[in-house]
Chain A
């Protein structure tokens, strides 16, 4: 941390809501000759001026809601507040979080707050707003993503990456727990004020205990964002045309389903393949094929095959993923189940999706496939037939 003859800059070793921690920290610094500079707080760093070591009292005062005499701008106290404080020996130094910081060197100056009952009203207000923050965080970090997944937790994990999803989940929980810790602290302060206690207790906070988890959080968040960006760009550029794909496919394609004279209709939107690998699903394939086949007798098949394929590390995981795929389909408005003959799969389901496309979901061992085959030519093939060929 920067330190010189004229002053020093330090990372504040406690949270911006830790009233007693902040008060004690600034008072301890004053005793070493470092006095908080006016408007000296920036991004949780505090600038100090060097002076004589002196006993000082620092007090945190809850920022008031705007009212006729509390119309301070940018979260600063009003001129009248500053004037009243100054006449009674207190100077406004800066603000941090939900608090204004005041200081006095005058041992005879009255306490900044002399009415715990009134202070508890302000504390109640910040506790209430903290409860709202926790609820908002829970909604946006937990409930909203789950709702947006439409029941597709495992397939999303396989596609985005289990590692990224887990890291994001840890960050979410960390964030929420931090917000709850703030709420617990403020609730305790409120209770003490309601009991008539003052909040001027001296406490010692360890800077390591404050800084270490924040550094860990920052590292974790950076790694997660980088991984997410990497996966995102991979998803953007990872799709290749089918003719460029040289690997073996673990499922049937149009050529296997409809034997005959095959012609690929390479529309960019409907033709392509993307393969991924995940810790829980080593093989993930997104496959889109559009083709025309002239079968024996001269009839023409024309259509497209859309496949999401997963090979997971265990059959149980494959089953869970298949059930999620089915749940997702059932949640859609125009889901219409279709009878399907036995395909030999451990779990199978067939339905018309929201655009009336016949779709099947099959799970066999650790393999899961969701396939949609649309047919537009004069020659068509029954669902029982093509679904039975999919996983071989």
Chain B
């Protein structure tokens, strides 16, 4: 567990950014996107969702584009895209490290 949330993204944070990378969305659309994308493996609870959105908004990763009644639509900012890509690279590096380690075990 990182000391601060933004040192690395949790799974749900990463997927919410992924959803917003596609297009501006409201919270509930992001939840549906994540559920579809992960074939139901990851479901995001409402409290988790608004915590993520609040955190992202205060960090400047997302910004509000539209308010319709109680529904708010968000879009990802450049800073948010940067955070998403940095996390993606981190995950890829981890996966690559794990793959090379697998090869090492297979050769033994």
Contact with B along A48-78 (1 / 0, CB 8 A): 0000000000010100100111100000000
The answer to whether the Cβ of B65 comes within 8 Å of any Cβ in the partner chain is: no
CB-based contact B48/A115 at 8 Å: yes
Q: Which residues of B contact A115 (CB under 8 A)?
A: 10-13, 44-45, 48, 51-52
A118-B71 CB under 8 A given contacts A64-B54, A110-B43: no
The answer to whether the Cβ of B100 comes within 8 Å of any Cβ in the partner chain is: no
CB-based contact B70/A114 at 8 Å: no
The answer to whether the Cβ of B47 comes within 8 Å of any Cβ in the partner chain is: yes
Interface centre among B10, B50, B70 (most CB of A within 10 A): B50
A88-B28 CB under 8 A given contacts A70-B54, A80-B70: yes
Q: Which residues of B contact A68 (CB under 8 A)?
A: 54, 57-58, 64
Interface centre among A69, A83, A121, A122 (most CB of B within 10 A): A69
Residue total for B at the interface (Cβ-Cβ under 8 A): 29
Q: Which residues of B contact A134 (CB under 8 A)?
A: none
CB-based contact B46/A194 at 8 Å: no
CB-based contact A84/B51 at 8 Å: no
A88-B31 CB under 8 A given contacts A110-B44, A118-B5: yes
Give which listed residue, B11, B13, B47, B57, contacts A69 with CB less than 8 A: B57
The answer to whether the Cβ of B49 comes within 8 Å of any Cβ in the partner chain is: yes
Q: Which residue of B lies closest to A113 (CB)?
A: B47
CB-based contact B10/A87 at 8 Å: no
CB-based contact B45/A112 at 8 Å: yes
CB-based contact A113/B54 at 8 Å: no
Q: Which residues of A contact B70 (CB under 8 A)?
A: 79-80, 82-83
Q: Which residue of B lies closest to A85 (CB)?
A: B46
Interface of B is mostly: helix
The answer to whether the Cβ of B72 comes within 8 Å of any Cβ in the partner chain is: yes
CB-based contact A87/B28 at 8 Å: yes
A194-B1 CB under 8 A given contacts A83-B71, A111-B45: yes
CB-based contact A67/B71 at 8 Å: no
Q: Which residues of A contact B55 (CB under 8 A)?
A: 118
Give which listed residue, B27, B46, B49, B51, contacts A64 with CB less than 8 A: B51
The answer to whether the Cβ of B53 comes within 8 Å of any Cβ in the partner chain is: yes
Contact with A along B4-17 (1 / 0, CB 8 A): 01000011110000
Q: Which residues of B contact A79 (CB under 8 A)?
A: 70
CB-based contact A84/B46 at 8 Å: yes
Q: Which residues of A contact B54 (CB under 8 A)?
A: 64, 67-70
State A247–B54 Cα separation when bound (angstroms): 75
State A216–B84 Cα separation when bound (angstroms): 56
The answer to whether the Cβ of A345 comes within 8 Å of any Cβ in the partner chain is: no
A69-B10 CB under 8 A given contacts A88-B28, A111-B45: no
State A64–B48 Cα separation when bound (angstroms): 11
State A110–B45 Cα separation when bound (angstroms): 6
Q: Which residues of B contact A83 (CB under 8 A)?
A: 70-71
CB-based contact B1/A112 at 8 Å: no
CB-based contact A61/B47 at 8 Å: yes
State A80–B51 Cα separation when bound (angstroms): 12
Q: Which residues of A contact B52 (CB under 8 A)?
A: 115, 118
Known: A110-B44, A112-B47, A117-B5; 11 extra A-B contacts, CB below 8 A, are A64-B50, A69-B53, A69-B64, A80-B71, A80-B72, A82-B70, A84-B28, A84-B46, A88-B49, A102-B47, A111-B43
Interface positions of A (Cβ within 8 A of B): 59, 61, 64, 67-70, 79-85, 87-88, 90, 102, 110-115, 117-122, 194
**Would you list the 3 A-B pairs with minimal beta carbon distance, nearest first?**
A83-B70, A114-B45, A85-B46
